[in-house]
Structure 1
């Protein structure tokens, strides 16, 4: 296994670190100030638009894509890992580079399965950062951890599909710039279990599409929003089908693999920054005549954080390396494993950082409460931990059965 990053990746690391130091970190207080002043919590503050323009000018744009575009020559999963980790240190940094979910996954499947017309209408504007998108799969009425449970109906009527259903936790759909939804529904309820579903492109302003409400995350209202959406006799042309009828489940798996590892890459950056804050706070506080940083228990927390972050990073790099070498399907078990291991690690690091900060840790002054809330949801997003543990366990059971 060779985890050495390519010369291009190493150069991009230097350029991205400089961008973070010169523009992103200094923008954090302005971002908070401008967000507080906006009449709509889902609007984009000007400071973020300024960062996007600077990122594009520096060539730090669409770095997540594995293939050549007008912006990049494409990066392997292994080369993208350290860059995604860097952006994970600031909540809005990935978006400043046009590398934020759910747009990244949507752009990838449009690239793989979209028609030329679909690419021109939706992929181009997404790549240029002119619009945003959402992925509508999860439903409140069923356990969506099993995607075959999806109940939203997609029925063909002549040259149109008629869509009826209810979705929720549809990230990105509250953003005023969200223009397109990729909707997963059933076109063949009586077909083979993994061939019942299809994906259809639905403009968010189509009659019958209603954004019912935005769902806060542990009380936090995210700017991009995570909405509940109803579809009532929504009609779109059959040309809006993504891929083929019955291919929805396979497309979902193609989308979720890279999305899961991207979450893990960024979450390592979240943990790194939480560790930095923990150390700084411990060194700056004194209790009973002794710096907190000299307390044995706190030193244990710091040491464990360092070791656990490094272990999680290496496991993530291994998964990325295997994806690059053998393909996403061959690395499915490793992707499932890191999707459990990395958020678990980060939550522990953030929790210890909160403890060292005392009351300040649960406030909004240090970013730790927000980091904890949004890392905790990763144990549900893109499949709950229990599903991923099942994947790992079944692989081990098969392996050991063969060995016997």
Structure 2
């Protein structure tokens, strides 16, 4: 595998870095304060939309979609990896380039599986950055890490489907720009094949019967203005044409969606950990304790060295997984996707925790981005499948394939 970035990627990387340096980093703290201290925390700061318009005008837009030149750059997963890493250095990085989860996964679902009508109504506005979306799968009453447990019902009634159920931790659903949900539920709960019971369907968030119950908190933070909603669906009626790909295809769609979504998170986490390492080094050089800079302390040097090693290991495994996805497809790369999904969030948690420790009390505060980075990293140990599920499946597959 060639680890050198192509001229095209290096050019895009320079442009993305320059954009962040010139436009986003200087107002990063201002954006945080606008959200936390503004009159309505659930309002999008106007600077965000201005940055999106500027990025779009400069052609730094929809960089994430492989195999779809008509919708974006047509970058491969391997080409996108360093760009996603760079975006992951800041909370707002992915959004200003229209590369945020869960929109990226939803756009890929619609691009791959959506009807022409669905693409026209929902994919195009998402690609244009005019609206945002959410993916409604996780439920509070069942272990949703096993998607076959999902209980939300999608029942055919004439030319409509009627939906009843409860979802939670639906990321982005509290965002005032969120207009569409892709919901996973059961159209055929009695099918003996548990993987054919589920379907995915498009639900406009303003449909009668869709009730946002509350924003769920993560470490006491409601993550305004995007949020993670608990949503109640009571006799929600949508046209039958809103079903994606057909009844019983939900699990198939989910597997196609989660591979890229998982590795995108890992790419961003490498970037977040790299920024934490740089902050750690800066703090160690400038902070004096017991008469000398922290960087003169052996334990601090060890933390810096171990962090650099661990980040590079995760970066290389991310690139290897992305390369295998490009060459052999997502299914054939599921072993490496599982490995990096296990490795990257834990690595990021460890590195960011070290950076927080070197920053002292400041590392826990709102004056540095470390607490925010840590919260994201710890969340991804559960999002798109908890560590234990990936280890269980990877161990099962390895035992089967490597047995003599």
- How big is each residue's C-alpha offset from its partner over 1:95-146, in whole Å with a ceiling of 9 and x where there is no partner? 0000000000000000111111111100000000000000000000000000
Q: May I ask how many residue pairs the two structures share in their alignment? A: 402
Q: Distance in 2 between matches of 1:271 and 1:37?
A: 27
Q: In terms of mean alpha carbon deviation, does 265-274 or 217-226 score higher?
A: 217-226
How far is 1:69 from its partner? 4.5
The answer for the alignment partner of 1:65 in structure 2 is 65
The alignment's TM-score, normalised by the length of structure 1, stands at 0.98
Superposed, which structure 2 residues align to 1:348-359 within 5 Å?
348-359=350-361
How far is 1:35 from its partner? 1.8
Q: In terms of mean alpha carbon deviation, does 219-228 or 161-170 score higher?
A: 219-228
Q: In terms of mean alpha carbon deviation, does 104-113 or 390-399 score higher?
A: 390-399
Pair 1:24 & 2:24 matched: yes
- How big is each residue's C-alpha offset from its partner over 1:187-218, in whole Å with a ceiling of 9 and x where there is no partner? 00111110000001010011010000001110
Is 2:64–2:72's contact at 8 Å kept on the other side of the alignment? no
Q: Distance in 2 between matches of 1:152 and 1:184?
A: 8
The answer for the alignment partner of 1:241 in structure 2 is 243
How far is 1:67 from its partner? 3.2
The answer for the alignment partner of 2:387 in structure 1 is 385
Q: Distance in 2 between matches of 1:380 and 1:212?
A: 22
Task: Compute the RMSD of aligned alpha carbons.
Answer: 1.1
Q: Distance in 2 between matches of 1:255 and 1:275?
A: 31
Q: Distance in 1 between matches of 2:222 and 2:59?
A: 31
Is 2:23–2:51's contact at 8 Å kept on the other side of the alignment? yes
How far is 1:72 from its partner? 3.4
The answer for the alignment partner of 2:221 in structure 1 is 220
Which consecutive residues of structure 2, in runs of 5 or more, have no partner in the other structure?
none
How far is 1:37 from its partner? 4.4
How far is 1:70 from its partner? 5.5
SS at match of 1:236: strand
Is 1:131–1:179's contact at 8 Å kept on the other side of the alignment? yes
The alignment's TM-score, normalised by the length of structure 2, stands at 0.98
Q: Distance in 2 between matches of 1:368 and 1:140?
A: 29
The answer for the alignment partner of 2:338 in structure 1 is 336
Which consecutive residues of structure 1, in runs of 5 or more, have no partner in the other structure?
none
The answer for the alignment partner of 2:326 in structure 1 is 324
Pair 1:152 & 2:173 matched: no
Superposed, which structure 2 residues align to 1:5-16 within 5 Å?
5-16=5-16
The answer for the alignment partner of 1:202 in structure 2 is 203
The answer for the alignment partner of 2:186 in structure 1 is 186
Pair 1:177 & 2:206 matched: no
